[in-house]
């Protein structure tokens, strides 16, 4: 058995040093490591570099850069790409990758996310711009060029700006920068400073940045304020674009500052004197002024009589005579009109105007043109339940009440004797200029047939006529000259009649005896059943109709006894004419 001799201490130390050196070399020669080597040879397009490994590695001459002239013995830095090439078995080296890694490590040492750098824009690429920052190319996204979106990027090429590094990408070994964040930061500082100094009531200059339906945003050198449409003008405007344009410089007043919410309210009209302060001196009541129609409503027209001053012309103040339903029937927006100031309400900023006051009121002289008692001719313009309106001249109407339409007949509605458009002759009964009313009489323009009615229809005489109307209490019979007589239900037949319409019908011709004539009340009482009576019986009926205390000759008159006699029956029937017209057929 062989006996192993102990290793001397010196040998142990040398072995340990050798092992450590091997471990260092192993750590040194790893893929991706950057090492220093010596140029040992140049063959064609390859430069051979010895890094102290088993064999030298070849580096493409192009990686040394354009115009480079490496020589044997030169020191150079390379990266180990592969320890053994599959084809040659040699170590694969790259100077380009080593240079890139060294440059990137320097970048990491020099720049951090959030730092500010200066660079020049080299070119425009898809999605943004390439910026040269020292010896590094950085990417500037299109969304980070300005605060607002930019459509054209080419104009920025060649310009130098400050940028903020917003991201360092180790994978792509590039910087992503932003100009927008720097601008926003600067603006934020300006905004904070401006907010701290703004005071209510002070005047500031600004530029119109944006216009909306409700107002405009004004840039006050770093912070936006809202100029509401109601604070743009003392007058009426429909849209802010009528007064302002984007980019326009304006002087505005600070109305309110909300520092917590960073909101500023501005006013433009407040920079000028309120025209309503001197309104009563400029436009006293009764003054006549020229104005322009700026708005129409169903109830009237708004007329601007001075910048910022509008008054309302109510439709009732358009014309003395015309009946105006809508303001648009007479005026249009933009029309120039003359108006008279009717009233001024400074507190509520309201002015009442009138157009008709600029013309003579025809009602002031209506009594001279249509004196009471004069005869006029006119056309029936319209009906109401109680009468008819007749146009005397343009805008001037007179009214014929139903009670003044006929001497002989009770008229329930004007259409019973008149038609729209019909020309009539009437007499002026009353004129009231203050109330703008003229009363006319149709029957007054004709002779009253009742003047000789007693001669024409003496009591006891036989008359002929047509049934013109039927009511529950009797039937009206039209005689000559349009005079109606009443046949009471008790005087229709010897037999008891329950319903008038069962015995008579409208248009039926009948014969009857006149049993009562009351000229004062304009009433004629008729009796059909008297046609079969003797003269003595007729005289008794006449006496009863007159209310005389004389017993009826014929017992068939019992139909009227419940009414207190024939006289009372006629009186009640005629009275019913006033409140029972609806029962007529």
3-state SS, 325-381, equals CCHHHCCCCCCEEEEEEEEEECCCCEEEEECHHHCCCHHHHHHHHCCCCCEEEEEEE
Query: What distance in Å separates the CA atoms of residue 153 and residue 146, rounded to the nearest whole number?
Result: 11
What residue segments make up the domains of the chain, in order of their start?
29-102, 111-183, 198-271, 275-358, 362-445, 455-583
Query: What distance in Å separates the CA atoms of residue 201 and residue 280, rounded to the nearest whole number?
Result: 27
Q: Packing angle between helix 566-579 and helix 535-546, nearest 10 degrees?
A: 60
**Superfamily of the domain at 455-583:** Nucleic acid-binding proteins (2.40.50.140)
Q: Give the model's pLDDT for residue 15.
A: 52
**Superfamily of the domain at 29-102:** Nucleic acid-binding proteins (2.40.50.140)
Q: Give the model's pLDDT for residue 584.
A: 38
Closest CA to 447 of 412, 477, 411, 408: 408
Residues contacting 202, CB < 8 A, separation 6+: 253, 254
Question: Thinking of the domain 111-183, which architecture would CATH place it in?
Answer: Beta Barrel (2.40)
* Matching fold, domains 362-445 and 455-583: yes
Residues contacting 558, CB < 8 A, separation 6+: none
Q: Is 573 helix (H, G, I), strand (E, B) or coil?
A: helix
Element (H, E) at 14: helix 9-28
The CATH topology of domain 362-445 is OB fold (Dihydrolipoamide Acetyltransferase, E2P) (2.40.50)
Residues found in the chain: 585
Q: Is 435 helix (H, G, I), strand (E, B) or coil?
A: coil
Rg of the chain over CA atoms, in angstroms? 58
| Tokens coding 191 | 């905004």
Query: What distance in Å separates the CA atoms of residue 15 and residue 8, rounded to the nearest whole number?
Result: 11
Query: What distance in Å separates the CA atoms of residue 380 and residue 416, rounded to the nearest whole number?
Result: 13
3-state SS, 116-129, equals EEEEEEEEEECCEE
Element (H, E) at 468: strand 462-471
| Tokens coding 435 | 């109330």
As assigned by CATH, the class of the 275-358 domain is mainly beta
| Tokens coding 571 | 């009186």
Closest CA to 207 of 180, 189, 227: 227
Q: Give the model's pLDDT for residue 577.
A: 60
Closest CA to 514 of 498, 532, 531: 531
Helices and strands per DSSP (H, E), number in the chain: 9, 30
Q: Give the model's pLDDT for residue 58.
A: 87
Residues of the chain with pLDDT under 70: 1-28, 86, 548-564, 575-585
Burial call 179-197: b when 16+ CB within 10 Å, e when fewer: bbbbbeeeeeeebeebbee
Q: Which residues pair with 466 in a beta bridge?
A: 478, 509
Question: Locate tokens 């530029």: which residue?
Answer: 207
Q: Is 428 helix (H, G, I), strand (E, B) or coil?
A: strand
CB 508 within 8 A of CB 467: yes
Query: What distance in Å separates the CA atoms of residue 417 and residue 284, rounded to the nearest whole number?
Result: 52
Query: What distance in Å separates the CA atoms of residue 261 and residue 528, rounded to the nearest whole number?
Result: 99
As assigned by CATH, the class of the 198-271 domain is mainly beta
């Amino acid at each position: 058995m062989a006996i192993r001799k102990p290793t001397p201490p010196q040998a142990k130390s040398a072995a340990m040093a050798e092992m450590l050196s091997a471990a260092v070399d192993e750590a040194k020669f790893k893929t991706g490591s950057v090492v220093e080597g010596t140029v040992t040879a140049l063959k064609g397009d390859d430069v051979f570099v010895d890094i102290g490994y088993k064999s030298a590695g070849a580096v493409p001459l192009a990686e040394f850069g354009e115009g480079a002239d490496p020589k044997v013995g030169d020191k150079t830095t390379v990266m180990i790409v592969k320890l053994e090439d599959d084809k040659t078995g040699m170590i694969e080296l790259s100077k380009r990758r080593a240079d890139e890694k060294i440059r990137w490590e320097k970048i990491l040492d020099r720049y951090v996310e959030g730092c500010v750098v200066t660079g020049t824009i080299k070119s425009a690429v898809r999605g943004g711009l390439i910026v040269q920052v020292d010896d590094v190319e950085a990417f500037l996204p299109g969304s980070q060029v300005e605060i607002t979106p930019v459509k054209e990027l080419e104009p920025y090429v060649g310009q130098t700006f400050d940028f903020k590094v917003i991201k360092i990408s180790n994978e792509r070994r590039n910087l992503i920068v932003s100009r927008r964040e720097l601008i926003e930061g600067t603006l934020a500082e300006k905004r904070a400073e401006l907010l701290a100094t703004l005071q209510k009531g002070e005047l500031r200059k600004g530029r119109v940045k944006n216009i909306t339906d409700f107002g405009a945003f004004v840039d006050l050198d770093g912070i936006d304020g809202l100029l509401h449409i109601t604070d743009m003008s003392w007058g009426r405007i429909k849209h802010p674009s009528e007064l302002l344009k984007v980019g326009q410089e304006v002087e505005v007043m600070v109305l309110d500052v909300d520092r917590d919410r960073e909101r500023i309210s501005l006013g433009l009209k407040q920079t000028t004197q309120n025209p309503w302060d001197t309104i009563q001196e400029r436009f006293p009541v009764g003054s006549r002024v020229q104005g322009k129609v700026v708005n129409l409503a169903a109830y009237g027209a708004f007329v601007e009589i001075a910048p910022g001053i509008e008054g309302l012309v109510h439709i009732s103040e358009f014309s003395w005579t015309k009946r105006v339903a809508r303001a648009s029937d007479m005026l249009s927006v933009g029309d120039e009109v003359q108006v008279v100031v009717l009233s001024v309400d400074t507190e509520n900023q309201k002015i009442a105007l009138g157009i008709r006051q600029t013309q003579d009121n025809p009602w002031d002289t209506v009594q001279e043109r249509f004196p009471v008692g004069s005869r006029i001719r006119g056309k029936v313009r319209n009906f109401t339940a109680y009468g008819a309106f007749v146009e005397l001249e343009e805008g001037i109407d007179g009214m014929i009440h139903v009670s003044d339409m006929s001497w002989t007949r009770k008229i329930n509605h004007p259409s019973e004797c008149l038609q729209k458009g019909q020309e009539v002759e009437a007499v002026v009964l009353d004129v009231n200029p203050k109330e703008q009313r003229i009363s006319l009489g149709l029957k007054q323009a004709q002779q009253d047939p009742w003047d000789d009615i007693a001669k024409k229809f003496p009591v006891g005489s036989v008359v002929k006529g047509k049934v013109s109307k039927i009511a529950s209490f009797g039937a009206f019979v039209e005689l000559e000259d349009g005079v109606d007589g009443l046949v009471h239900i008790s005087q229709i037949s010897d037999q008891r009649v329950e319903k008038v319409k069962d015995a008579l019908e409208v248009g039926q011709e009948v014969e009857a005896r006149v049993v009562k004539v009351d000229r004062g009340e304009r009433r004629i009482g008729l009796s059909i059943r008297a046609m079969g009576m003797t003269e003595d019986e007729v005289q008794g009926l006449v006496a009863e109709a007159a209310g005389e205390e004389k017993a009826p000759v014929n017992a068939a008159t019992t139909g009227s006894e419940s009414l207190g006699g024939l006289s009372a029956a006629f009186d009640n029937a005629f009275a019913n004419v006033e409140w029972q017209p609806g029962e007529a057929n």
